[in-house]
Chains A and B, each alone.
Chain A
Amino acid sequence: MSRKKIFLLMTVPLVVIFFLFDTVPLLTGFVYSLTNSKGFGTFRFIGLSNYFRLFTDGSVLSSYWFTFKFAVVTTVVVNVIGILLALALNSNVKFKTFFRGIYFLPYVLGGLIVGYIFNYIFTFMLPSVGKALGWVFLSSSILGNAGTAWIGIVITVAWQSVAFNILIYISGLQTIPTDIYEAAKMDGSSSWNTFWTITFPLLAPFFTINLVVSMRNFLMVFDQIMSLTGGGPASSTTSISMLIYQNGLSGNQFGYQSANSVIYFIIIVAISVFQLKVLNKREVQL
């Protein structure tokens, strides 16, 4: 067999599988979004009316509001803590590898289990801390209150995902040659200045990766919410993924939630492209 044929044989079957199970569902999802399908039985095409309905549906709008609020806040939290801890773990601390091991530990645990553990902490442990100290805001579970439940989810998801960010920033810090720092020191640059003029700009590509990956993952949050609040109280923590899963598969809204997922898809792609465009402009090369 010729080189050309073998290479084609290595490529085509897998691309066909990929097309069948990634692109075909994407396309059929779009087709379903134009129907009134319940997920079973007959259905008919209803044009774009699912899409019009989405923009006036309170539960859809509130799930978008929750998901964006959650994703933006968690992305900021995780990146600020991630940079600080990466700087700390990259400096001359004792037992460096040991600490990196500990800080990375949450990443390997399942989101569901982590959610259950924090559910217990928020429901039983923190209220008893609150009562012991006489702090009113802590004396009842923050997960039980529609106004504060999302904060519990931010804390839990951040606790687990910060590991990934720390690691990326550490590997970024290791690409910066130390002689630049020595030169900056000779010029009398303060450590605050050194961070903003040297470290941060050179860390920019890693900042981009972390921002894009975190934002994308947090917009798709599912497991932790399932185990922390189940979407409640009063649907205040129902993420877009959860809404699509629950109402699309068992709520007779197959076609309608397909339209929802098309919009959701467009938004995620738009945000990722926007982030890459804007952030790439700010990157500097050595």
Chain B
Amino acid sequence: MTAHKTNWLTTILVTILSVLILIPLYMAIVISLKKPSEMGTNLANFFRFPKILQFANFIDAITTTNFFQTAFNSLVITVCSVVVVVLLTSIISYAIARNMNKRFYRWTYYYLVSAMFVPFSMLMLPLVKQLSFLRIDNKFGLVLMYLVFQMSMSVLLYVGYLKNITVSLDEAAYLDGANSWQIFWKIIFPLLKPMHATVAILTALASWNDLLLPLVVLSGNGNSAVTLPMAQLVFQSQFGTNYNLAFASYMLASLPVLIFYLFAQKQIISGVVNGAVK
């Protein structure tokens, strides 16, 4: 490995391959801006940029999928899930990490983390029954489910991170008369910032893009489209022949997460690495 010398051959290779990532995205944007009459089936047509940008597709997509309402629902569910997951799982992780020498806390840790291997399909059918029996087959129930299903991963991450925060910090605060609750909020919670970011990003992506859980939890009460991914599903079956409208709708559904990615790219990438390697 010779340092600082640009490897041009690899750079060219990486550039060519990155086109494979960008083509489908470029294509989706172009289609969403075309008129149906501009589609055609010969090859050049697929890549040709439209003469006049059809922003009307987007306006149609907004009205037919009730975009603002579903986007708002998705946003509320995502924000609530992130807040609940970050607050509650960091608290339990602190209690577990500081008591790993006690059997109860150690077993609790293994119990929570081992649930990572339970496939959602295994829980899906009984959960539907249970949530409708408890009358929480709604957005509240959905947030509760994201808390439960993000718990394994988050606890794993937080406990791993807390091992690196020295116990002497706690001890010093105990001597000053603080209790565990105060120590957590005043000292530990702020120190967990990098992990908060990681857990928040993983939870946000998981709940924003999720289709199966909202489909299962919310389908019982007659709301056919409540979250953005659900709206796309309804859209596809009803307006399947108008591809321009459909793609405008897909672009709209992806736009928030793309903007988020643009601004938080570094955080997201390091967050995912942290999330998986520990």
Contact = CB atoms under 8 A, between A and B. Distances in A.
Interface of A: 1, 3, 6-8, 10-11, 14-15, 17-18, 21-26, 28-29, 32, 39, 85, 88-89, 91-95, 99-114, 116-118, 120-121, 124-125, 128-129, 132, 159, 164, 167-168, 170-172, 178, 181-182, 185, 206, 209, 213, 216, 219-220, 222-223, 226-227, 240-241, 244-245, 248-249, 254, 257-258, 261-262, 264-265, 268-269, 272
A109 B119 contact: no
Residues of B in contact with A, size category: 35 or more
Interface stretch (B52-60, B65-73, B140-148, B160-168): B140-148
B79 interface: no
By CB atoms of chain B within 10 A, which of A18, A170, A257 has the most? A18
Query: Which secondary structure dominates where chain B touches chain A?
Result: helix
Contact of B122 (A11, A99, A262): A262
A28 B7 contact: no
Nearest to B114: A269
30 contacts: A3-B179, A10-B181, A11-B105, A14-B151, A18-B151, A22-B123, A22-B148, A26-B122, A32-B125, A85-B17, A91-B1, A91-B7, A92-B7, A92-B10, A93-B11, A94-B8, A101-B269, A102-B22, A110-B253, A110-B254, A111-B211, A118-B24, A121-B24, A167-B273, A167-B276, A209-B277, A219-B119, A222-B211, A226-B233, A245-B212
A168 B41 contact: no
A3 B17 CA distance: 56
Contacts, number: 260
Contacts of B24: 114, 117-118, 121, 159
B62 interface: no
Contacts of A117: 24-25, 27-28, 247, 250
Given A7-B98, A10-B95, A171-B277, A264 B232 contact: no
